[in-house]
């Protein structure tokens, strides 16, 4: 597959790369003028992303826009994902089985983290996503394609859970009773962001900590990656998913729930990092929505894991029996932890000047 793209040089190796739940990625190494050069090759999951060419058009527009702005800021250290074209000139290649592929140049001397290790990392990650939103705020028309319609429509996610409970196709509802009850008791929060009259922005929508690369030497957040879900959304979704993935020291599938907790200093670092960039365009109402968004997106992600567990694990890749239920449990534990600190979180966000 690597040979379908304009990566040149002599093919040396390819190995699976990353921990994503949806697509498949490989790191490809070739030799150019005696030196190794790396690329990321990805197969897009077309069961999840139904129109890969439209998705790739979004990514092409977004990366071009970011690259154009990088030219205007030559002293900035941030970098932009660069697509590598296939030999026929498009930025994707469809194989004989109907799968769509793409390639990016590898961003060297930087890496992503699955769990947060320091406040500095939280600050840097949030700052990079805030800058990403800021740089895309005035993307010229047309509107980006919705690569997954209603992606963060929490009431629809809630309805999907109710349907999975009713259908119970693999008879798992009985063993997930505590999680189902936890979810059903919180229906009233599902519509809060949608009903708040917040403006539509271009958002990333999958801002988990491992979707930003931090510089190996300086720790600076230098590149936002995983752009499949970049589309119209609410600014709060991106901040919320950062709270979900960068405030607890635990893995998303940790089985020891005593390790799962929203650490306030990490939240503060996220809020300061995000607002240091996004503060330039956010309205007061959007700023107010940030503290709540962490709880909502964590809850929503828990709903999605629980729904997939009940449906028989058809969406998220799993690596063990009950994996999605374990993931759901960490999300709900984190929701509880946030519930205990909600007021303090809101006060902190309010107090940050920008
Ligand atoms: P997934 O949808 O599987 O999460 P990602 O696009 O996030 O796919 O890529 C998986 C991992 O590969 C990332 O967490 C990151 O560590 C690495 N990665 C992706 N793209 C690049 C790139 N251009 N340069 C360096 N590393 C990358
Ligand atoms: C998926 O592709 P990946 O692993 O970055 C999912 C996100 C979830 C996340 C949970 C397209 O993200 O929405 O928040 O898993 N992506 C899609 O870890 O559904
Ligand atoms: Mg990813």
| pLDDT tens digit sequence for 159-193 | 999 999 999 999 999 999 999 999 999 999 999 99
CA of 88 to the centre of ligand 2 (A): 30
Query: Residue 251: is its pLDDT beyond 80?
Result: yes
Which numbered atom of ligand 2 lies nearest the CA of 315? 19
Mean pLDDT across the chain = 97
Which numbered atom of ligand 2 lies nearest the CA of 241? 14
pLDDT score at 268: 98
Ligand approaching nearest to the C-alpha of 42:
1
CA of 301 to the centre of ligand 2 (A): 9
21, 150, 229, 307: residue to mutate for ligand 2 pocket, most atoms within 8 A of CB: 21
Query: Residue 354: is its pLDDT beyond 80?
Result: no
48 lines ligand 2 (CB under 6 A): yes
Q: What is the pLDDT of residues 8-18, one digit of tens each?
A: 999 999 999 98
208 lines ligand 2 (CB under 6 A): yes
225 lines ligand 2 (CB under 6 A): no
113 lines ligand 1 (CB under 6 A): no
Which numbered atom of ligand 1 lies nearest the CA of 110? 25
Reduced 3-state DSSP string for the chain: CHHHECCCCEEEEEEECCCCCCCEEEEEEEEECCEEEEEEEEEECCCCCCCHHHHHHHHHHHHHHHHHHHHHCCCCCCCCCCEECECCCCCCEECCCCCEEEEEECCCCEECCCCCCCHHHHHHHHHHHHHHHHHHCCCCCCCCCCCCCCCCCHHHHHHHHHHHHHHCCCCCHHHHHHHHHHHHCCHHHCCCCHHHCCCCEEECCCCCHHHEEEECCCCCEEEECCHHHCEEECHHHHHHHHHHHHCCCCCCCCCCHHHCCCCHHHHHHHHHHHHHHHCCCCCHHHHHHHHHHHHHHHHHHHHHHHHHHHHCCCCCCCCCCCHHHHHHHHHHHHHHHHHCCHHHHHHHHHHCCC
Which numbered atom of ligand 2 lies nearest the CA of 48? 11
Q: What is the pLDDT of residues 23-60, one digit of tens each?
A: 999 999 999 999 999 999 999 999 999 999 999 999 99
Residues with CB under 5 A from ligand 3 (ion): 20, 211, 226
pLDDT score at 19: 86
Query: Residue 353: is its pLDDT beyond 90?
Result: no
pLDDT band at 240, cuts 50/70/90? very high
pLDDT score at 75: 86
pLDDT band at 74, cuts 50/70/90? confident
- Determine the average pLDDT of the residues in 204-227: 98
CA of 41 to the centre of ligand 2 (A): 18
- Determine the average pLDDT of the residues in 333-352: 98
Nearest alpha carbon, ligand 1 atom 10 = 18
pLDDT score at 241: 98
CA of 72 to the centre of ligand 2 (A): 32
20 lines ligand 2 (CB under 6 A): yes
40 lines ligand 1 (CB under 6 A): yes
| Percent of the chain with pLDDT strictly greater than 70 | 100
Query: Residue 272: is its pLDDT beyond 90?
Result: yes
Ligand approaching nearest to the C-alpha of 213:
1
pTM exceeds 0.95, yes or no? yes
């Amino acid at each position: 597959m690597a040979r379908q793209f304009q990566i040149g040089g002599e093919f040396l190796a390819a190995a699976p790369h990353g921990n994503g739940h949806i697509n498949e990625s490989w790191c490809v190494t070739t030799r150019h003028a005696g030196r190794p050069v790396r690329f990321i090759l990805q197969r897009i999951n077309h069961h999840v992303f139904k129109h890969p060419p439209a998705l790739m058009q979004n990514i092409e527009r977004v990366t071009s826009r970011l690259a154009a702005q990088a030219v205007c800021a030559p002293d900035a250290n941030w970098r932009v994902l660069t697509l590598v074209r296939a030999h026929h000139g498009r930025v994707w290649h469809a194989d004989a089985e109907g799968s769509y592929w793409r390639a990016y140049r590898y961003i060297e001397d930087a890496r992503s983290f699955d769990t947060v290790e320091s406040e500095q990392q939280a600050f840097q990650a949030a700052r990079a996503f805030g800058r990403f939103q800021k740089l895309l705020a005035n993307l010229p028309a047309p509107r980006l394609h919705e690569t997954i319609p209603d992606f963060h429509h929490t009431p629809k996610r809630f309805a999907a859970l109710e349907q999975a409970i009713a259908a119970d196709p693999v008879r798992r509802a009985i063993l997930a009773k505590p999680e189902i009850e936890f979810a059903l008791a919180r229906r009233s929060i599902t519509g809060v962001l949608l009903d708040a009259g917040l403006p539509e922005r271009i958002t990333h929508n999958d801002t988990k900590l491992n979707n930003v690369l931090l510089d190996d030497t300086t720790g600076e957040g230098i590149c936002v990656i995983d752009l499949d879900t970049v589309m119209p959304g609410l600014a709060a979704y991106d901040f919320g998913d950062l709270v979900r993935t960068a405030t607890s020291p635990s893995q998303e599938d940790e089985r020891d729930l005593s390790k799962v907790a929203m650490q306030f200093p990490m939240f503060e670092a996220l809020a300061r990092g995000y607002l240091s960039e996004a503060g330039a365009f956010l309205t007061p109402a959007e700023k107010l929505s940030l503290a709540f968004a962490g709880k909502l997106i964590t809850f929503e992600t828990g709903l999605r894991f629980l729904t997939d567990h009940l449906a028989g694990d058809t969406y998220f890749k799993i690596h063990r029996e009950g994996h999605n239920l374990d993931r759901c449990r960490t999300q709900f534990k984190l929701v509880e932890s946030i519930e205990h600190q909600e007021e303090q979180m809101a006060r902190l966000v309010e107090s940050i000047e920008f």
